[in-house]
Amino acid sequence: MPIRYLLRLLVVVQLVFLAGCDETPTGRSQLALVPHNMMAQMGEDAFEQLINNQPISRDTAVNGLVQCVAQQVVAAAEASYPDLDFPEAWEVVVFEEPSPNAFALPGGRIGVHSGLLDVAETPAQLAAVIGHEVSHVLADHGNERLTQQLGIKAVLMLVGLMGEGDMGHQQLMQALGIGAQLGISLPFSRTHEEEADLMGLAIMARAGFDPQHSVVLWRNMAAAGSGQPPEFLSTHPAHASRINALQQGLEEATAIYQTVTPADC
């Protein structure tokens, strides 16, 4: 094997070793090898594609509510995790889409489906969803999943042996958590969902939204859905399990909520 490839292999091994020491904001060990600036560019490109292909809501009241809640949640996220690098600004768009969904992308993009407002009946319930989605970004879940999907290819990309074009457009969209918006079904893992739930619960509380509304939201989600597969067949927690986990985190989140001024959205 040529010496230059041996040297590159050594770099790869070192990167894998160092990356294995990374932790999410909750302290969970994480392997996430894609450079953050590349993740941000992927998020920007994916969001631009959605804007170009999906109708955008022009409802003034809905946009005002979503912008207000998102601003409060992002400010609380920054206060909760001051050591993390945050985008200078977040772009928030409401898409005309009946499914009750939302997403956040690396680089500071938040998308909310208009249909979510039929299920999230209060600003606090909306904050629970946006806090959850922003938490996926803060915990670098898209990066972690992209690393898992691509394996050594993602590491080789870091040392310049291949470019973004070799990864595959669908894989990028799946890893960023917006596959459902583009007809690609691949949700975040159960571990990611549970981590984002608990991070989002604390963030919404710090933003001034009553964390009790997170439980109400998921009860609404359960009532609005047509049923889920058994939990052992799904990467998402079952609604009952999710509600139970949120209830266990309510005491700590409520203590945070009691120290801040209630949000006015």
Distance CA 160, CA 145 (A): 20
Task: Pick the closest to residue 42 from 99, 109, 103 (CA basis).
Answer: 109
Residue type, 144: E
Q: Which amino acid is it at 206?
A: R
Please tell me whether residue 67 adopts helix, strand or coil conformation.
helix
> How far apart (Å, rounded) are the C-alpha atoms in residues 57 and 59?
6
Active site positions, annotated = 133
Q: Tell me how far CA of residue 189 lies from CA of 134, 135, 195, 240, in angstroms.
A: 16, 14, 10, 17
Structural contact between residues 92 and 73, judged by C-beta atoms closer than 8 angstroms:
no
3-class SS of residue 179: helix
Are the beta carbons of 162 and 156 closer than 8 angstroms? yes
Q: Reduced to 3 states, what is the DSSP secondary structure of residue 91?
A: strand
- 52 by DSSP, 3-state: which? helix
Q: How far apart are alpha carbons 90 and 104 in whole angstroms?
A: 10
By CB neighbour count within 10 A (0-12 exposed, 13-18 middle, 19+ buried), where does 207 fall?
Answer: buried
